[in-house]
Chains A and B, each alone.
Chain A
C-alpha cells in the first residue's frame, strides 16, 4: 500500500496524473493510510529546493483536503495542517495560491478550533497581498472569508477590528465583478454583525467607491454576473448599518442630481432600501432636500422608470420618518413632514386641467401609502379639496382627472386594515364621494362614467353595506334602463328560481335576501314594471309557497316606496287585482289556503294595498272597491253547503266567502285597506249590508286574529262614515247589542269589540263617545271582564300602524289623547276610590295607559291627583301595571322633578322594596332604573336618603340575575357619587 501511495504522489508531482489526489483521499477516508504516511512520502518534494516542486506538493495536500469528507480530520490534525500550510504562505509567492486553496478546505472543517481560525486570518492578513494575486486566487481568499463569516460568525466576531481592517485591505481596489459579488456578500455580513468602531468610514469607503455601479457584462462572459447582482449586493451593504447614514445620504443626494438616468434610479432605489435602517433621526436633516429632489423627478422627468423609483423612495422615506419617536419638535415628526409636503403640493390639486395635478396625486398617494397615519393625514387634507374642485369644474377633462386621483386615494387606503375604532378616513367623506360619483355617472363622457363606477365599486368594498350597494345600483339603473332590463333583474330572478343557491366557498344571498335587494333597488316606473311583472308571476307559482312571506314583504316595500309616483300606480294596481284573483280562486285549495291565510303574508299584502290605496284616484278606488265587494258578497245569500273532502273546510261554503265562513274572515284584512284608505267613503250598494255584517261578526266567538281584522275593518269604516242617520243607526244598534251581550254573558272578545268601536269614535270626537266610554268604565268594575276592559284602554289609546292612521286619511281630531285624559281623569280617580279591592288594579292599569305617551304639560297640573294612585299601582301585585307605572315614573323624574321631589319620602321605600321583588326580574330592573334616575333630582332632596339607599342596595348586588346586578351596580354608584364635587 505504502508503495502505491508513493507512486501516486510521484505521478502527481511530476504532473502526469492529477487524479492521484482523489485516489489518496479515498484511501484516507477508508483509513487505509494515515496522514503521516502521506506526509512522509511527500517529504522530499515539500522540502525540495525547486519552487515548482514545493508548490506542486502543497497543491496535492490542498487537493486531498478538498476531496476528503469535511469531518474526517480531528481537531489536532486540523491544527497541525493549518500550522504547516500557514508556514507555506511565508514561502515563495508561487506557493501562496495552493496554500490558500488548502486553507479554504480546512476552514470548512467542523473541527476547526477558534484559535486556528484566528491564526488563519492573521496569517492571511500579514502574508498575503491580495492585489498581487490572480483573479481566481483572490476569489479563493474571498470564498474563504465568506465560508468563515457564514459558518463561524461567532469566532470571527472575536477578532473584531483586526478582521475588519484586514478585510478592507483585501477588498481594496478589487475590480473583478465575480469577486465583487462575493466580497459584497462578505462586507454585508461584517457590517451587520461586527462593530465597525473606528473603521466605519474606511468600511464605507471601500464599499461605496463602487456606487453607482457601472458595468456592462460582455456577451461571452462565462461567469454570468449581471449588473443587477452587483447593484443589489452593493445596496445591501449600504443599507446594512445606520452608521453609514452620515456618509451615504450626502452621497445619494449628490447622485440624485446626476445626469445619468441609471445613476439616478440607482440612487433612488438605494435611498428606498436604506431609509428603514437609517431611521428617522438620521433622515430628519435630509428629508426636505430629498423631497425636493423627488418632487422634481416626479414633476419633470417624464420617465416612468425614474418616477416609479422616486415614488417608492418617497414612500420608504415617510415610513422611516414615521418610526421616529414623537417629539415636541414639529419639524422632526411625521406630522410635520407630511404637513410640509402637503403645503408644497396641495395647490396643484386645485388646477385639475394641468398634468401636474395627476403627478401631484401620485406623489401624495405614495406619501399616504407609507403608514396608516400618513394616509389618514393626507386623505383628510386632500379629499375635501378634490371634492370641492370637482364640483367647481364644468369641463369633462378636469373632472376626469379629479375622479382618477380620488380613486387612487381610495385604492391606497385599502392597503391598511381598519377597525371600528379606527375607521378608514375615506368613510368620513363617503356621502360627498358618493354624490361626486353619482354626478360623474351623469356625465356625457364615457371615460368619466367608467371611472365613477370604478370608484363606487371601491367605495362599496370599503363600506360593504348592502344598503349603500342597493342605493348605487338603483341610481345606476335609473340612468341605464337597459342595464336593469337585460342584466340586473334577469340575474336576480334567475337566483330566485335557482333552488340550490349554495355555491361552495362563496357567500351568497339567500332567496329572501334577493327579494330584499329587489325591493331596495327598484325605483321609477320602468324598473317597477320589470320587477312586479316577475313577482306577480311568483305569487301564482305554488313552488314559491315557502317564500310567500318574503315575496309579500317585497311587494309591501315596493308599494311603500313607489306609491307616491303616479307613473308607478298602474303596475301596483295590477298587483291588487292579482292578489284578489288569487285569494278568490285558490282559497279552497288546502295548500294555497294555508299559505294565503298566514297572518304575516296577509298583513304584508294588506300593507301593499294600503300604501297605494291612499294615492288612488276616485275611479280606481271605485273600481277596486266594487271588485272586492262583489267577490266578498257573491255567496252571502246563496246557501250552498256542499260537502268538501278537505278537513279544514268541513261545514264551510264551497267558495270564497269571508263574510259568512269563519275560516275566511281573516281575508277581511285585505278589504280594510281597499275600503278605508281613501278620502271618500265607499258608496257601493252593498256597503250598508257590509257594515251590518261586520258588526254582527264582531260579536261572534271567532279566533283572535280574524276577530281583530273584523274589528279593525269596522272601526276604520265607522271612523270615516259621514255624520248622519246611517251612522247613528249603526252605532245605536251596536251599542244595544253590546249592552245586552255584556249584561248577559259578556266575554273578552266583546270587550275588545267595544274598545275598537270606542277608539274609532274617540279619534273623530263623535258625540256617542261618552256612552261607549262609560260602558268601558262600567266594565272596569266587573270582576270577570275588568282586566280585559283595562287592556281595552291600551287599544283605545295606542296608535296603530295598519289602521286608523293619518296616512289612510283617518278622521283624527287633534290632541284627542289630551282631551280624553282631561275629560275622563276624574272619572277614573273617583271610580278607583269607589271600587272594591279586587278591581282597584283595573282602574290603575287604565290610568297608566291613559298617561302613556301623554304630553307632560297636560299631566303635570293633575299630578297631585294622580300621584297617590301611582304609588298604589306600585303596590299592586300586577306585573304589567308595575312596569307601566315605573316607566311613567321614570318619565316624570325627568319632566317634573319638583313634583317627585315632594313625594320622594313615600317613593323611595316602595322602590327599594321592589328591588327585591322575587317573581320578576323585569320589575327589579325597572325599580333600580327608577332609583338611579332619582339621582338627577337636586342634591339637598337626596342627601337624607343616601345612607339608607346605599345600604339597602347591598343585598341587590348579590341578586341571582346578572342583568339585575348590573343595574344595581349602576344605581348604587349613582347614589354614592351624586354629591361628588365634579357633578
Chain B
C-alpha cells in the first residue's frame, strides 16, 4: 500500500500536564477541561506513520472544546492532507477512544476541521452516525486496526 502522505511534517509534542497542589487535594472537585480530553486523544497513533496524532498536528489543543456542565465534547481534527484516505479511520479511532475513556454523560462530537478535507461532509456524517460507528466496531478487522491506533506506545515498542 502506498502512503498518502509519504513525508509529513512532524510537530513538537506538548509537555505533560503539570500536577498542581489542588489536583492532589481530596476536597476539590476537578472539572473536565479541554486539556484533559486533549490528553486522552493526543497519544493515539496515526494509522500510516509511527507517529502520534499530536505529532502530526492532526489534533491540537485549540480544537478540543469541552463543557463539563452541559456534558458536551467537540473534537475537530485536521487530516494531514486534504484528500487523506485515512480521515474516517482517524475519526473513528478518536471516537472509540473517547467512548472508552469518558463517562457516558458526555455527548461527543468528532468532526473534521472545516475546510481541511475534500470530502468533509461525507466523513462527518459517517462519524456522527451512531449506528454506523457501532456497526464498524462489529467488523473484527476494522476493530483490530482501531485497537492498533489506540495501543499505547510502550506496547508497540
Q: Which residues of A are at the interface with B, using a C-beta cutoff of 8 A?
A: 326, 419, 421, 919-921, 954-955, 957-958, 960-963, 965-966, 969, 972-973, 976-977, 980-983
Choice from A960, A963, A976 contacting B29 with Cβ under 8 Å? A960
Shortest CB-to-CB span from B15 to chain A, Å, is 9
**Interface presence of B12 (CB below 8 A):** yes
Choice from B23, B147, B148 contacting A962 with Cβ under 8 Å? B23
Asked whether B26 lies within 8 Å of A961 as measured between CB atoms, the reply is: yes
Q: A658 to B60: give the CA distance in the assembly, Å.
A: 64
A sample of 13 cross-chain residue pairs with beta-carbon separation below 8 angstroms, ordered by A number, consists of A957-B101, A957-B102, A957-B103, A958-B105, A960-B30, A961-B29, A961-B30, A962-B36, A972-B101, A976-B100, A980-B144, A982-B147, A982-B148
**Interface presence of B151 (CB below 8 A):** yes
Q: A965 to B33: give the CA distance in the assembly, Å.
A: 12
Residues of B within 8 A of A (CB-CB), count: 26
Chain A residues in 8 Å Cβ range of B102: 957
Q: Which residue on chain B has the smallest CB distance to residue A977?
A: B147
Chain B residues in 8 Å Cβ range of A963: 19, 23-24
Shortest CB-to-CB span from B70 to chain A, Å, is 15
**Interface presence of B155 (CB below 8 A):** yes
Chain A residues in 8 Å Cβ range of B6: 326
Chain B residues in 8 Å Cβ range of A972: 100-101
State the 8 A-B residue pairs at the shortest beta-carbon distance, nearest first. Answer: A958-B103, A962-B30, A960-B29, A969-B101, A980-B147, A957-B103, A921-B26, A326-B7
Shortest CB-to-CB span from A955 to chain B, Å, is 7
Chain A residues in 8 Å Cβ range of B104: 954
Chain A residues in 8 Å Cβ range of B101: 957, 969, 972-973
Given contacts A965-B36, A977-B150, contact A983 B155 (CB under 8 A): yes
Given contacts A921-B24, A980-B151, contact A973 B144 (CB under 8 A): no
Shortest CB-to-CB span from B138 to chain A, Å, is 15
Asked whether A973 lies within 8 Å of B30 as measured between CB atoms, the reply is: no
Asked whether A969 lies within 8 Å of B40 as measured between CB atoms, the reply is: yes
Q: A981 to B105: give the CA distance in the assembly, Å.
A: 31
Near A by CB (< 8 A), chain B positions 96-110 give 100-105
Q: A804 to B148: give the CA distance in the assembly, Å.
A: 52
Choice from A421, A954, A977 contacting B13 with Cβ under 8 Å? A421
Choice from B23, B29, B30, B151 contacting A977 with Cβ under 8 Å? B151
Given contacts A960-B30, A963-B23, A963-B24, contact A973 B100 (CB under 8 A): yes
**Interface presence of B152 (CB below 8 A):** yes
Q: A983 to B7: give the CA distance in the assembly, Å.
A: 29
Shortest CB-to-CB span from A330 to chain B, Å, is 15
Given contacts A954-B103, A958-B103, A973-B100, contact A920 B26 (CB under 8 A): yes
Shortest CB-to-CB span from A829 to chain B, Å, is 34
Chain B residues in 8 Å Cβ range of A960: 29-30
**Interface presence of B120 (CB below 8 A):** no
Q: A419 to B11: give the CA distance in the assembly, Å.
A: 11
Q: Which residue on chain B has the smallest CB distance to residue A422?
A: B12
Choice from A919, A955, A973 contacting B103 with Cβ under 8 Å? A955
Chain B residues in 8 Å Cβ range of A973: 100-101, 150, 152
Chain B residues in 8 Å Cβ range of A958: 103, 105
Shortest CB-to-CB span from A542 to chain B, Å, is 36
**Interface presence of B39 (CB below 8 A):** yes
- For chains A and B in complex, what number of residue pairs have CB atoms within 8 angstroms? 57
Q: Which residue on chain A has the smallest CB distance to residue B6?
A: A326
12 more contacts with CB within 8 A, not counting A419-B12, A958-B103, A980-B151, are: A421-B12, A919-B26, A954-B104, A957-B101, A957-B103, A966-B36, A969-B101, A973-B101, A973-B152, A977-B151, A982-B144, A982-B155
Q: A578 to B93: give the CA distance in the assembly, Å.
A: 69
Q: A966 to B23: give the CA distance in the assembly, Å.
A: 12
Chain A residues in 8 Å Cβ range of B155: 982-983
Q: A178 to B77: give the CA distance in the assembly, Å.
A: 59
Chain B residues in 8 Å Cβ range of A919: 26
Near A by CB (< 8 A), chain B positions 109-157 give 144, 147-148, 150-152, 155
Chain A CB within 10 A, most for which of B7, B24, B26 = B26
Shortest CB-to-CB span from B62 to chain A, Å, is 20
Chain B residues in 8 Å Cβ range of A981: 144
Chain B residues in 8 Å Cβ range of A326: 6-7
Shortest CB-to-CB span from B3 to chain A, Å, is 13
Q: A963 to B147: give the CA distance in the assembly, Å.
A: 24
Chain A residues in 8 Å Cβ range of B12: 419, 421
Q: Which residue on chain A has the smallest CB distance to residue B20?
A: A962
Q: A962 to B40: give the CA distance in the assembly, Å.
A: 12
Q: A326 to B3: give the CA distance in the assembly, Å.
A: 14
Shortest CB-to-CB span from B110 to chain A, Å, is 17
Chain A residues in 8 Å Cβ range of B100: 969, 972-973, 976
Q: A421 to B147: give the CA distance in the assembly, Å.
A: 27
Shortest CB-to-CB span from B61 to chain A, Å, is 16
Q: A453 to B91: give the CA distance in the assembly, Å.
A: 55
Q: A28 to B81: give the CA distance in the assembly, Å.
A: 64
Near A by CB (< 8 A), chain B positions 4-44 give 6-7, 12-13, 19, 23-24, 26, 29-30, 36, 39-40
Q: Which residue on chain B has the smallest CB distance to residue A961?
A: B30
Q: A921 to B39: give the CA distance in the assembly, Å.
A: 20
Q: A980 to B100: give the CA distance in the assembly, Å.
A: 15
Q: A969 to B43: give the CA distance in the assembly, Å.
A: 13
Chain B residues in 8 Å Cβ range of A982: 144, 147-148, 151, 155
Shortest CB-to-CB span from B95 to chain A, Å, is 14
Chain B residues in 8 Å Cβ range of A983: 155
Q: A982 to B144: give the CA distance in the assembly, Å.
A: 9
Chain A residues in 8 Å Cβ range of B148: 980, 982
Chain A residues in 8 Å Cβ range of B36: 962, 965-966
Q: Which residue on chain A has the smallest CB distance to residue B147?
A: A980
Q: Which residue on chain B has the smallest CB distance to residue A958?
A: B103
Shortest CB-to-CB span from B139 to chain A, Å, is 14
Q: A919 to B151: give the CA distance in the assembly, Å.
A: 33
Shortest CB-to-CB span from A961 to chain B, Å, is 6
Shortest CB-to-CB span from B72 to chain A, Å, is 15
Q: Which residue on chain A has the smallest CB distance to residue B35?
A: A962
Q: A384 to B147: give the CA distance in the assembly, Å.
A: 43
Shortest CB-to-CB span from A326 to chain B, Å, is 6
Chain B residues in 8 Å Cβ range of A419: 12
Chain A CB within 10 A, most for which of B12, B102, B147, B148 = B147
Q: A421 to B29: give the CA distance in the assembly, Å.
A: 35
Chain A residues in 8 Å Cβ range of B30: 960-962, 965
Q: A124 to B81: give the CA distance in the assembly, Å.
A: 52
Chain A residues in 8 Å Cβ range of B29: 960-961
Chain A residues in 8 Å Cβ range of B103: 954-955, 957-958
Chain A residues in 8 Å Cβ range of B19: 963
Q: A245 to B131: give the CA distance in the assembly, Å.
A: 59
Q: A972 to B102: give the CA distance in the assembly, Å.
A: 11
Q: A972 to B97: give the CA distance in the assembly, Å.
A: 11
Shortest CB-to-CB span from B81 to chain A, Å, is 15
Q: A972 to B151: give the CA distance in the assembly, Å.
A: 12
Q: Which residue on chain B has the smallest CB distance to residue A972?
A: B100
Q: Which residue on chain A has the smallest CB distance to residue B13?
A: A421
Shortest CB-to-CB span from B128 to chain A, Å, is 22
Asked whether B23 lies within 8 Å of A961 as measured between CB atoms, the reply is: yes
Chain A CB within 10 A, most for which of B24, B101, B148, B151 = B101
Chain B residues in 8 Å Cβ range of A980: 144, 147-148, 151
Chain A residues in 8 Å Cβ range of B150: 973, 977
Q: A983 to B100: give the CA distance in the assembly, Å.
A: 19
Chain B residues in 8 Å Cβ range of A954: 103-104
Q: A972 to B23: give the CA distance in the assembly, Å.
A: 21
Q: A920 to B24: give the CA distance in the assembly, Å.
A: 10
Near A by CB (< 8 A), chain B positions 38-76 give 39-40
Q: A955 to B24: give the CA distance in the assembly, Å.
A: 20
Shortest CB-to-CB span from A207 to chain B, Å, is 37
Chain B residues in 8 Å Cβ range of A920: 26
Chain B residues in 8 Å Cβ range of A962: 23, 30, 36
Q: A919 to B147: give the CA distance in the assembly, Å.
A: 35
Q: A963 to B39: give the CA distance in the assembly, Å.
A: 12
